[in-house]
Structure 1
């Protein structure tokens, strides 16, 4: 055997050994990631089980929404409808089904929101078709509550296509995003009429001057991020306004906007999606809700994870050009923030995040999009 053949053979052996070593360490890393993930989620699931009321609810003092969120989270973390905690929770939610088709407490102040999260929950548990009729009736009720021509509104009206907490309330991006989640869970596709109406409203919540947004706020900030609503009350104008007279973009709303546009069929070539992704790159952060600090932080984690998973992105390149595996970053940050009892809670009580059950539900939902690959 000549020297060149010997050298080539040795290089082949060395390369093969290196490849095998990398594969071995990669397998060990994946195993460690999976073990860490299971430890974090398992402890949280156990804690949530200890917080369930006798009637099957969770934090019912703030409505039926937390119960729907918790049960959806448990189902997405591998529990089944036969699991005792899940079964009790579903039974409680069945008791909130109204004759109108709505799924909410009889005196709820948040009937649209509660119905939306309940539809998603029931669909998650609907493997045997048990909840099909409930979902169908709720879908019709939600469509009837969307602001459209039936409310004597025209497409040029700023509130057209949006949804609020319920009844005649002002629409906002958060509730409209939850509406789109429910419509999708009930089977609506991008071309669905209600989805396309919602897109009109969603586009008006973006700081981007375009044919889709001709509101007075569109060109004030123009950074591609999203704000809460273009239909302002006096309180909104004071709370949401940017220094230059526009409306402040912030993290949770931008991720809601990105996800909603993708649900409505927009691609990464659309200028609205491009602008939103540019904002995401410039404001990549897992220590705060960008633009809001610690307010709504756990709500932010859920919208962050859902939007990025929906977009198909595995990595986000930040403003400095550094690439981030957002799933790994999310798991690591949430593991650091977990309380010793397995829960999460926000010291900032805004938007009810002083409730550990609600925060823990948000976290388990967020983590459902960040499971380590087997």
Structure 2
């Protein structure tokens, strides 16, 4: 792949040691942020991560080791991953061991990792995979991970579900084996498969790419649905399946499905994991949307809804794209790692947690979930 992005940006090089981006022979100083050096940024991340991890260990966990057990193994898995992203040695701590034991106790005969009666089998399993990989000291979870991989590939929407590649649902993944596929769950699937060691050319990942392409507002590049040319801004919406859906409340008068930030970063990340290079038209169109809508004040198109999901997907996608400086459509350079660090540190509560005070949509009133999102985002902010 030929990263960093973007081709149309005024900045085509990563940060140098002097924190500048180079364009021709002119050194352009990057936009100042609250943290003026990698040392300052990393120190802020360390302090913030310490407080967030203390919150999860001391206040967020139930007696059975679960974090927010009403969510099955999902939030527990995200919390374990968030802790171990920053403190791998915590794998031996009593709190993390109890959480991992809770996750592993829910490994099912079919290979999935989900609580009894769950309607979110794909989602729970994909995030449980991330937790078990992070905790897989000495290969102790190799067997469970291999079975989980087979489970995830088995429930992906494809010929096994009686649909052909022409179906807008093809290649996608939903919350469970019978729920309509969507881009969010498909992006978790692709990420899990890559972490399990599958290369970009893996059959399941390439099937997922077909679904991802159909969630992009871009005609002629794999989106063959009726929505492809209605908006054409290169961003992504929630799903093309079952007639298509976006989560943006404001309708489009032309009958299109409005793009929004979190799904666009999820789409970009998935395309990169599926092997698309920076000069691919789908990637370039996504980057155009990102440049035009760059924001850490809101989830573009959604306001405060899903803000912390957005932050963690934003960070993962830009890290996957190997972008150090992102130039917006006005030509302003953003040291996004420092800017996101500053945003997350300011948003941290006195008890070390995070919560979305502007919207509790998609469970962002749940401090365990939101703290996990914030910690996972901070991992990718290290310089």
One fold, TM greater than 0.5? yes
Give per-residue Cα distances to partners, 1:311-363, cap 9 Å, x unaligned. 00001101210100100000001111111111110131110111011000000
1:180-204 per-position Cα deviation (integer Å, ceiling 9, x unaligned): 1111111111010000000000000
Q: Who is 2:15 aligned against?
A: none
Question: Within 2, Cα distance between the matches of 1:28 and 1:326?
Answer: 12
CA displacement at 1:243 relative to structure 2: 2.6
Cross-structure match for 2:19: none
Q: Name stretches of at least 5 consecutive residues in structure 1 with no aligned partner.
A: 1-26
CA separation in 2, counterparts of 1:216 and 1:107?
36
Name the CA distance, whole Å, in 2 between partners of 1:106 and 1:43. 33
The reply to whether residue 33 of structure 1 matches residue 44 of structure 2 is no
Partners of 1:240 and 1:247 within 8 A in 2? no
Q: Which moved more, 1:227-236 or 1:201-210?
A: 227-236
How much is the aligned-residue C-alpha RMSD, in angstroms?
1.7
Show the 5 A alignment for 1:170-189.
170-189=180-199
CA pair 77-237 structure 1, distance change in 2 beyond 3 A = closer
Assess, with a 3 A threshold, how the Cα gap between structure 1 residues 185 and 244 changes in structure 2: closer, same or farther.
same
Q: Which residue of 1 aligns with 2:230?
A: 220
Shift of 1:34: 2.6
Q: CA deviation at 1:135?
A: 0.5
How do 1:1-374 residues align onto structure 2 when only pairs under 5 Å count? 29-50=37-58, 51-80=60-89, 81-232=91-242, 239=249, 241-347=251-357, 348-371=359-382, 373=383
Q: Do the aligned partners of residues 105 and 240 (structure 1) sit closer, same or farther apart at CA in structure 2, a change above 3 Å counting?
A: farther
- Check whether the contact 2:248–2:259 (CA below 8 A) recurs between aligned residues: no
Contact kept? 1:176, 1:198, Cα under 8 Å: yes
Q: Matches of 1:117 and 1:305 in 2, distance apart?
A: 17
Structure 1 stretches of 4+ with a deviation exceeding 2 A read 27-35, 232-243
TM-score under structure 1 length normalisation: 0.89
Deviates more, 1:29-38 or 1:296-305: 29-38
**Cα shift at 1:120:** 1.2
- Structure 2 distance, partners of 1:358, 1:296, is 11
SS of 1:128's partner is: helix
CA contact (8 A) 2:248 2:258 kept: no
Deviations 1:85-125 (A, max 9, x none): 22111111011111111100011121110000001111111
Are residues 315 and 95 of structure 1, via their aligned partners in 2, closer, same or farther at CA, if it must alter by over 3 Å?
same
> Does the 8 A contact of 1:173 with 1:228 survive in 2?
yes
CA distance in 1, matches of 2:155, 2:233: 31
Provide the rounded CA distance (Å) in 2 between the counterparts of 1:178 and 1:141: 14
Go from structure 1 to structure 2 and tell me whether the alpha carbon gap of 1:28 and 1:279 turns closer, same or farther (over 3 Å shift).
closer
For residues 64 and 198 of structure 1, the distance between their equivalents in structure 2, rounded to whole angstroms, comes to: 24
Report if aligned partners of 2:169, 2:242 keep a CA contact under 8 Å in 1.
no
Structure 1 position 214, deviation (Å)? 1.4
Deviations 1:112-145 (A, max 9, x none): 1000000111111113100010000011011110
Q: TM-score, normalised by structure 2?
A: 0.87
Contact 2:239–2:245 under 8 Å retained in 1: no
Assess, with a 3 A threshold, how the Cα gap between structure 1 residues 235 and 219 changes in structure 2: closer, same or farther: closer
CA spacing shift, 1:36–1:235, aligned 2, 3 Å: closer
Report the CA distance shift for 1:63/1:344 in structure 2 as closer, same or farther (over 3 A): same
CA contact (8 A) 1:79 1:86 kept: no
Query: 1:79 Cα shift?
Result: 3.0
Q: Which of the two has greater helix per residue? A: 1
Q: Give 5+ residue unaligned stretches, structure 2.
A: 1-34
Aligned equivalents of 1:234, 1:370: Cα separation in 2: 34
